[in-house]
Chains A and B, each alone.
Chain A
Amino acid sequence: MIIKVKNLVKRYGDLVALDHLSLSVNEGEVFGLLGPNGSGKTTAINCILALLKYDKGEIEIFGQPMTPDAYDIKRNIGIVMQNVAVYNELTVYENIDYFCGLYVKDKKTRKKLVDEAIDFVGLGEFIKFYPKKLSGGLLRRLNIACGIAHKPKLIILDEPTVAVDPQSRNRILEGILELNRQGATVVYTSHYMEEVEQICSRIMILDRGKAIATGTKDELKAMIGIGEKITVETYSLSEEQLSRLRKLPNIVSAVYKNQTLEIKADKGLHNLETVLDFIKKEGIQFGKIYSEMPTLNDVFLEITGKDLRD
């Protein structure tokens, strides 16, 4: 086990930021911490890294207690902060070299690692640029390179794609998977459920400092009753029609709002066909109609009663 956190409690005055949080991260996995803003993801990461004091709990990394002086542990950790943490007065190359140099003393090894990190994040053309000259996406890539250049066994990425363009975001996500393929264990925090679904092998959903669900994305989705979501764009639908729709087999709920009919159904092979037959029979005029599998947002919504994006 790479990280083991047991009953972690962190309070800011009366506010409980982490409420008896326990988690474990296994070697080789991409572990996702998913939750809305203020759910305690970054606080948890800062506690794990021994930056923040906490009121209660135990934290072990690589099987040893994590403390500020645990340099052997720290040597094997790479961190990519939520805020870009680089020196504006150093060039791209100098920044990566500086932070890598805090972990790797040998100059030749360091040069090789820095060159590899630059290739990895695709900043080869910008090595002499100062951070202020870089776009938001390139700056994020530099932030990542500074965190991973020393080839750590454990990489912690705290919302690394905030305010990043889609192209850079895809590159970053692909890079994270590549690092994982190269052997690194990854902890990834985000409030973007699509990203977490895309790259994480195991996910913990946090809300108000509490772990509300943990598992693979399929396991999480299996926790809720919904098997399929069908959305129909229609201009008019009467209460009677809606009532009859709800009585159809497998239909869990049907809500008509803003000219959109949202139907949630149990798992079943013919749900869409059933709904289409009903619409045809009732003579309901419709625009688009589509079916989708439940998302992590649905999981969050079902457990907490609120939207992940709120």
Chain B
Amino acid sequence: MNTDRFHSDRLDSFRELLERSDAALVLTAMAAFYLLFLGIGAVLNYNLAGIISILGQVTFFTAVYALVVLALNLHWGYAGLFNIGIAGFMAVGVYTMAMLTAPPTGSPPGLGLPISVGIVGGMVAAALIGLVTALPALRLRADYLAIVTVAISEIIRLTYNSPAFSTFTLPGGIALGTGGANGIGNFPSNPVRAIYYVDPESAASGTTPIGTAVFGFFENTLGVFRSAVIVDLTYGLVLAVVVLLVYVLLARVGNSPFGRVLKAIREDEIVAKSLGKDTDRFKIKTFMLGCALMGLAGVLWQGFGTGAVYPQAFRPELTFYIFIAVIIGGAGSNTGSVLGGAVFANLLFLLPQYLPNIIEQTFAIQANPNTFIAAVGPIAAGEITPLLGYVLNQRLPALRFVFVGILLVYLMQNRPEGLLGHRTETAAAVDLSDGHTPRAGSQSDPTPPAASDPGGVEDE
């Protein structure tokens, strides 16, 4: 009995901690996801390197989704700017980066500039494309912005896909290229490799002192020989730091008079204008900042994450993944954005990739037959296993869209505000109630206060 109460007290204080501390909330959620995927690794009998690899994936996808969702939350959650061209702005970021940094002698050729220039250039280019998109559309109603952004996003993807720009020469005789449908393969190597390898381009070049120490630790203590897995995990952790920095940046933007004007624009732009706010200026700045962050996310996700860039990665469904994540998390909340990104990345993106194997292993269902006829035929004889096997046979990840659809319908009906959208995050740089206690209601009190002097208004 006492132990029960002890447990329930601890549970209550833990719940309180989660409500009070966003950091605790996010860390708890991440711990849960790590545990889930550790469990999956165990069920699938992965060795330690395999498990570290899964955890690296969890970290990577959580971080990249959180990053883009945070950027979208600035647009949609704060300012109500309905941007459905996210994939396009990510593409501009990563393509610009690739074209700036690819070697001039490569195929397609680039400018051979340093990585840091490439990253900044990618963000600036995405912001400028954002500006070009926003200038005509922001003066119109919100739905026009949506139409323009989705169109621009497709124009961007098809332009990168076009053979016409596969390689081209700028007026000064400088050769550049998008690689057309094949994309750009000679992408600069992931910068975290420089921590471990003497030459980041080649693992055979030998390890740095840090590399020797870390790889040695994993090899001798844990028996993990695959250094690529350690590099990936490190990159995931670096991305987590980037997410933290972007979170702090956006929290500052939100908790300021600037963020207050954005909220006012979302609520009623005419009111914001009637109070003297130049709403166009606020919207353009916000749109450019969000696009720059989407460009950064493109570089860190599609660029360094996959080591190559190709146009098919930026199909419109990417944009909708991000929107679903922001809806899950709750529009308007930065912490909600991180949580929404984490939930989407882990439960809707990664989990379906492992699910077929888990089901196969657990329920001893064979992932066959291959054809629909062979799957439904035996149902007449009361055999349902072939249908399950058919669904499992590499088709479960494709059912992700069905899961996502069901989840969206559920959310819209039962919790349209998402996980954290119900919270009121006050847009101010200080605690607005500090030093003040709202006194008990007086407005509804019908007795006339003695202080009022009806004679006072006559003296004109």
Q: Do A and B come from one complex?
A: no
Q: Which residues of B are interface residues toward A (Cβ below 8 A)?
A: none
